[in-house]
Structure 1
Amino acid sequence: MSNPRTENPSSNWVYSIRSCISKKKPKTAISIYTQSRGKGGNLTSAIPLILKACASLSLLIYGQMLHSEILKTGVERDVMVGTSLVDMYGKCRDIASAHKVFDQISEKNAVTWNAMIGGYMRNGHTHKALVLFEKMTRRTSVTWIELIDGYARNRNTAMARQVFDEVPGELKTVVTWTVMVDGYVRNGDMEAAREVFERMTETNFYVWSVMITGYFKKGDAGNAREIFDRMGVRNLVNWNSLISGYAQNGMPEEALESFTRMQDAGFKPDEVTVASCLSACAQSGMLEFGKKIHDMILKNSIGMNVFVSNGLVDMYAKCGDLANARLIFEGISTKNSATWNSLIAGLAIHGQTREAIEIFRRMEESGEKPDDITFLSVLSACAHGGFVEDGLEVFSKMKKYGLTANVKHYGCLVDLLGRAGKLQDAYSLVRGMPMVPNDTILGALLVACRIHSDTVMADNVLELVRKVSFNCGIHDDAHYVQLSNIYAASEKWEMAEGMRHIFSTRGSKKTPGCSALMVRGN
């Protein structure tokens, strides 16, 4: 039996690094390597592993530093080290360096060629990848997979399918079939994906999840559930695909019902499961269910990664338990934009305008860049709280962060100005918008006109309504009902009757809203 004290210390480091890579903890692996470099021992065997970690995290600068160390040790011509460098540079989008290293490797194996083909494909150089493919004297199943996956990633499913059909029978594995299915799904072609999927004589857990997720992304929950129900044996990933699909499609009850079924089947939830369930609880306002999931996270020592932490903040905030939302929020050491957005949105929804603005300003001070969702939440809070000056200030900051206001941001500002009685400012804002106003914005203007009994502004809005109706070729009768009520409240009976006549002659049917996309056709 070996004595741990006499073992080579570097071998222990390598074992720890390899363990981290297998457990998909690349950051920890890099940290171990960084700490071990100054403690002696030959760690050359760990270099390919760390290059793999760099590739998964797209850490080009660290990868370049490792390359410099490799040159000093003189192992750059080792085929394993060289191949790892090619793979790292390709995945980090430095295809020129990948090609340079590839050319310097005198004894290349199939893995080296595959890494270079994969690098070309990831960087959009499909022709160069094909040229390299044609030069190979010995191709493996991975070679064909790199080509099929590469074409699919570059949105050329026709070429991907052509390559797939040319794969020799002995090299067409279940993974090859799965990559073709995944390629179609990634490009939104579920009909073609289903055709290939149904032809598979052997399947794996992953391809079932690909199909389930693909249908959910198209909003087809029925087919997603049908695929799931066909499975004879399932794993946790399959259950997660079903639960997260329901949650992402606004079907929280179905998501939580599936979660219960999953537990009854003997599966223990992981981070992905609880994050999806917390989202479902947030959507449905099921605070007690959300608290049970929180207890489960603590009791089962489920990892509090960024998705779980943000899910808890979002669930508590949207369910109205702002005290717990803030408590968890303050306990998160590294917050991303989603963390801040969850709390800001929750505060906005529950009328805590001043607090939402305060959190927004703290976000700015933290150095985290606000995004479109951040500004929409803050503007919505300002509109409901009547904070006109704050709202205008927040709106003006969008350009500072390189963001372009969309129709929803303008809608919040129009609503804010309208509620405050600043109808002329709201009208001028709408007239100056870079996009055609949609029904929501026009409706907000009309509501403001009704609240403040401003028939003069209502006349101006009527012209806008007519213009938008003419450009879109459709009409929303609700606007004319609003106008009729405004005129009637001001005893302008003839105008009110005119609006009612327009409404009645079209059969009293409300038509779909007109958006900027519908007007501009792009």
Structure 2
Amino acid sequence: MEALSFWFLKGDFSATPYWEFDVGYSCISKTRKTKRRWPAGNAVRQRRSSHHLFASITHRRWDPKCDASYGFFTNHSKLNFVSVCEPSRISSCASFAFGSAFEQQEIGKEFSEESPNPRDSLLNKSDNEEEGSLDIVEGKDGGVFPIKEGGRGDCDYERVVEGKNARIDVRALAWSLRYAKTMEDIDDVLKDFSELPLPVYSSMIRGFGKEKRLEPAVALVEWLKSKKETNGFSGPNLFIYNSLLGAVKQSEQFGEVEKVMEDIAEEGILPNVVTYNTLMAIYLEQGQCLEALNVLKEIEEKGLSPSPVSYSTALQVYRKMEDGSGALDFFVELREKYQKEAIGKDGDNDWETEFINLENFTIRICYQVMRQWLVKGDNSSSNALKLLTEMNKAGMRPGRAEHERLAWACTLEGHYMVAKELYNRIREEESDISLSVCNHIIWVMGKAKKWWAALEIYEDLLDKGPKPNNLSHELIVSHFNFLLTAARRKGIWRWGIRLLNKMEEKGLKPGSREWNSVLVACSKASETSAAVQIFRRMVEQGEKPTIVSYGALLSALEKGKLYDEALQVWEHMLKVGVVPNLYAFTIMASIYAGQGRSEMVDSIIRDMVSSGIEPTVVTFNAIISGCARNSMGSTAFEWFHRMKVLNFSPNEITYEMLIEALAKDAKPKLAYELYLRANSEGFHLSSKAYDAVIYSSRYHGENIDESILGPRPAEKKKNVKIRKTLSEFCNLADVPRRCKPFEREELYTQQTHEN
């Protein structure tokens, strides 16, 4: 058998939950102790109780026979009593209650599942009318639970309103009305109550709005209107209608706005600032921005003074329209009025504080709008820069945090101007800046191909701080790699060397990729001496050369006809264990061909095949090209035939190199025939091959039909130009032009100079 246990309300009362008797019961204890709630089934001992109350929940009538110390609820039932005892009588009262309870049938479930909260069973009507509940509200016959004068405490709900003789739990009352849809539904619940204070109704309406239940809110207002006409109730006032308008906004049923405003007009009630502020917020929610701003004008036209909420709502309207300039102009105009004391005269608001809040809110809106512009990307940079300038003129310069947040929104190529402007502002106004923001701006500059600007930011990190981290190094090295790659492709070896020097100057150690880029650029430009010095510097810096490094050096030596030095490099490469690739084999075949050492060329071809590398048409073209540079036409022609025997089809370069070699070797007739053959195979040879055939035949007196050759081909545009000036590269890389010419000393390291 279950024991009777206590649990406490938040106020001066504690109670036991009811059980499933034929007749339920509850226990309420009046106490001054701190509010605590205990689950059912756990016995509770209270040390400082002043009174204990045991009450039946079946009947709600207070028996006035009992005095202030104790009393009973009387009616016919197996368990019908309320006992309020002094501390000295606790044991007798409790034993009386417990004994009566134990005479009942066995206890079933601990709580009714339909009761959402044990305390609700005392404060609300139960869904099961047979079980009933004890309502702590004022009925027609007076309060069912009289409170001593001066008694304090509240129930466990959001709001408790003091009536004439009782405290009214507004939330509990609203809970019983939550499904009401008509005035009749409201009247079924409230018909037994006398007129409640209007704050009770407005609180319930606001609660319905929070729960997006507009129907009971509207029904309650209509019920109040009907009671005004029949029973002489005071009826809904402006506060009631403002609460209803707020409920309309929160429930997002904006179609009811017009009806509410019509009711206000019919009742002869004049709207106040709160009404208009709510209307502005509703228009803002609907996206009707111009209508919201018109409401603000209407406030002033009605002779009312807009509140800080009115102005902040107007600023939100400009945020909705993404009109940062409009928000800024609005605040500047408002500031002028405030300085002239045209606004802020009412004592209801601390305007000095509120005005500071409005200024900060305006700054925040401007930055939100700029961020939105940057995300969308349409003319974002120019618009953002314009708004930043306008904010400066208005004397509204935000701090570092706002600038950094906006810098993070710069992600597109066109945002580099905004990012650089924000960076400069932070550097000018603040001593510190976030390293992550600096890295992000370096990344943006690289994306916009403003590598030199990125390098300037990196230099600031070294000079002013914060100290760059690994990500900073990786970002700036990636930018250098891009510039070095551009220099390599275009054969601008001088800029490649300067970039290497710049990296070392800034404490960045070039890797093999960077060194190889400069070596390839030197090779393309046939700058043999520069390639040798760069290779030497690479080794001195402790960087291990790769096959790309050796290949570029071999190519530079081959173009400079330094064959012996090339052979030494080749032997050293094999000695240190670097495995040659197709490119290295091809260069060595060209070198041996240039020396006229056909047996070594054959040896290289065999080594290629044994290494699993098959020669390509490029390999044979390199051999023929080497023969051509050394006027070895017959040898070149032999390799041409061997190429066809090995089932390699010649291309345009093959024919051009071979024709050039035959023309130099005084074989114009053969060169002429090969030119015609290339034309018949559909190749379009360059003007250089055409000129070689014509010049050789005329020089050696060979009679040929020049008309068969056709017209002279147009000059082919070279893919790689060895530029004498660096202006074009400066434009490409966004780097400053140097006035002084390149100095050969830039090739060498500081250690070499000292030696």
TM tier relative to shorter chain: 0.3 to 0.5
Relative to its length, the structure with more helix (as a share) is 1
Normalising by structure 2, we get a TM-score of 0.33
Q: Which has the larger radius of gyration?
A: 2
Higher strand share: 2
